[in-house]
Amino acid sequence: MSPVTSSWLLLVEDNANDELLTLHAFKRAAFANPIVVARDGVEALGHLHGELHATPPLLVLLDLKLPRLDGLEVLRRIRAHPRTAFLPVVILTTSTEQRDMVEGYALRANGYVRKPVDFAEFTDAVAKIGAYWLMINEPPPQVT
């Protein structure tokens, strides 16, 4: 696998329908950034801390309810690693548990978005996330 440029995004999502909806929403919003999908927490950390990519992604969209390693533990490890400590991470989840939100922010998530059930609302939410993090926000400097 060849390295992905610094403009890539990481979607950490185990639900195939939510994955397709998110990818569709980014395509519909005309974002050209490559999106790498990890379907569990271990795979996500492999993309972030392994040697698959020359640079970290611009953004991680992180589900919480994941197999093998849950999203909060993934976030904990992202923040503990020098290469990804300041990486923008937006939790994108169906969880309505307040403790998930509190712990996510305690672990320095940059945002917490509940996935809307309605297709149009979901597409709109993902487009707004992309617009902010890819077009407005200035990413942190890269630490290698």
Q: Taking the CB of residue 40, how many other CB atoms lie within 10 A of it? A: 19
Model pTM? 0.91
What is the set of domains in the chain, with CATH numbers?
9-136 (3.40.50.2300)
Residue 1 reports pLDDT greater than 60? no
Distance CA 131, CA 112 (A): 16
Q: Please report the DSSP string for the chain in residue order.
A: -PPPPTT-EEEE---HHHHHHHHHHHHHTT----EEEESSHHHHHHHHHSSS-SS--SEEEE-SS-SSS-HHHHHHHHHHSTTTTT--EEEEE----HHHHHHHHHTT-SEEEEPPSSHHHHHHHHHHHHIIIIIISPPPPP--
Instruction: Summarize pLDDT for 74-126 with one digit per residue, the tens.
Output: 999 999 999 899 999 999 999 889 999 999 999 999 999 999 888 899 999 99
3 has a pLDDT exceeding 60: no
| 63 has a pLDDT exceeding 60 | yes
Would you say residue 4 has pLDDT above 60? no
Residues 6+ apart with CB under 8 A from 106: none
